[in-house]
Amino acid sequence: MIARAFLRFTKRAPVIGTDTDLAAAGGLLTIDLDAVAANYDMLRAEAAGAEVSAVVKANAYGLGMGPVARRLAAEGCRSFFVAEANEGAALRALLPDAEIYVLNGLFPGTAGFYAAHGLVPCLASMAEVAEWREAAKGGSLKAALHFDTGMNRLGMSEADAAALAAEGALTAGIEVRLIMSHLACADDAASPMNARQLARFRGLRTILAGRFAGAKASLANSGGIYLGKDYHFDLVRPGVSLYGGSPFTGREHPFRPAVTVEARVLAVREMAAEETAGYGATWKARGTARMAVLAAGYADGYMRALSSPRPNGDGGDDYGGQVRIAGYTAPVAGRISMDMLIVDVSGLPEGAVKRGDMAELIGPHITVDDVGLKAGTLGYEILTSLGGRYMRIYVSGGKAMTEGGGRV
């Protein structure tokens, strides 16, 4: 296991300006940047002929926007998508030459901030277009035009597209770099929604072609890339696939896992038959049991929904999360609390688990999608919920370092 290797070869590792002892870390979050790079290369091969950008919103889906974006830029990525302008400003400080798109569009009164940081808003309403046009007076500002093709979330209408195509003054001073929409059902290749949105997007491109001939077109997210070449257009926007999560429903995916989460064993204790474990006394030992207490809980993103039995009382006591420990898989016992969880290691050889050992919560044996399924959610939510208490280790070029750049 990664943590054991690190502990064997080092005693101390500085983390983000502090002198943190690795042996004192309650949990480790290891991000494999080599896996992120490999996934990016795989997506480039799948979307050959289109530019492959990177969605690094939400702190690169919880993995760390700085290290991830720098590695992807080194791999040749030139266009990045964030959700909000503050994320974009932080990314601009790291990548001065990147094209940075802001998916949530232009907030009222913030055009100066976007312009100062060289951000490209994905304009999703005629009001946003007007405000960006006003900010561009006397110069030129880049933008993406975002249209709705069936998601009914953000995006302008076909009527808006017709108005923009007919009246050049509406986009005076705006350099339209991208025309985009977003797929609602790309996770399901069989969904008829995909073909409907593709047809609508093609129609929008036809309407806008004369006015914005130089703009790139973008429709596909991670799942959309695998719907086929018709969906690729000029630029694709993968997110979760870069980080080893699945963009599909009910099928395998080819991406390398990029995250390992481990929690330290705080204690190993014996329980008599009929004794209970955790808050609410919801889990009861059927016989003599051996329990391991781990230093992770819902404050660390290991969700309460992974409790066993379920927090609402449904299901048997075999329901819930699982961890990998000492080469075995062990079930969660009782409710997940804020800082700790309990696992039943009764089935493991006596002495196999010791205080101070590390247990895999997410990793090569228990994928982030497995954890999401057990929690009744998606791997996306698990990744973006990972807490800030983990000691973060980044692996790049086969070498390990801390988030602050310290060698491990």
For the chain, how big is the Rg over CA atoms in Å?
Answer: 24
Whether residue 75 contacts residue 40, with contact meaning beta carbons closer than 8 Å, is answered with yes
d(CA 271, CA 284): 10
| Cα distances (Å, whole numbers) of residue 381 to 34, 262, 267, 375, 387 | 23, 18, 29, 10, 12
d(CA 272, CA 127): 67
Q: What angle do CA 121, 61, 251 make, to 5 degrees?
A: 110
Q: Is 11 a catalytic residue?
A: no
In the annotated binding site for substrate, the residues are: 153, 338
Question: Which residue among the candidates 137, 216, 226, 279 is catalytic per the annotation?
Answer: 279
Q: What's the one-letter identity of residue 76?
A: G
d(CA 286, CA 6): 38
SS3 72: helix
Question: Which residue among the candidates 40, 57, 374, 394 is catalytic per the annotation?
Answer: 57
Q: Is 40 a catalytic residue?
A: no
Q: Which residues of 9-42 are buried (b: 16+ CB within 10 A; e: fewer)?
A: eeeebbbeeeebebeebbbbbbbbbbbbbbbbeb
Whether residue 220 contacts residue 233, with contact meaning beta carbons closer than 8 Å, is answered with yes
Number of residues written out for the chain:
408
d(CA 355, CA 269): 10
DSSP at 181: -
SS3 334: strand
Q: For residues 275, 279, 280 and 283, what is the CA-based torsion angle, rounded to 10 degrees? A: -40
In the annotated binding site, the residues are: 153, 338
SS3 65: helix
Q: What angle do CA 85, 137, 156 make, to 5 degrees?
A: 55
Going by C-alpha positions, the residue among 209, 180, 377, 353 that lies closest to residue 268 is 353
Q: Please list the active-site residues.
A: 57, 279
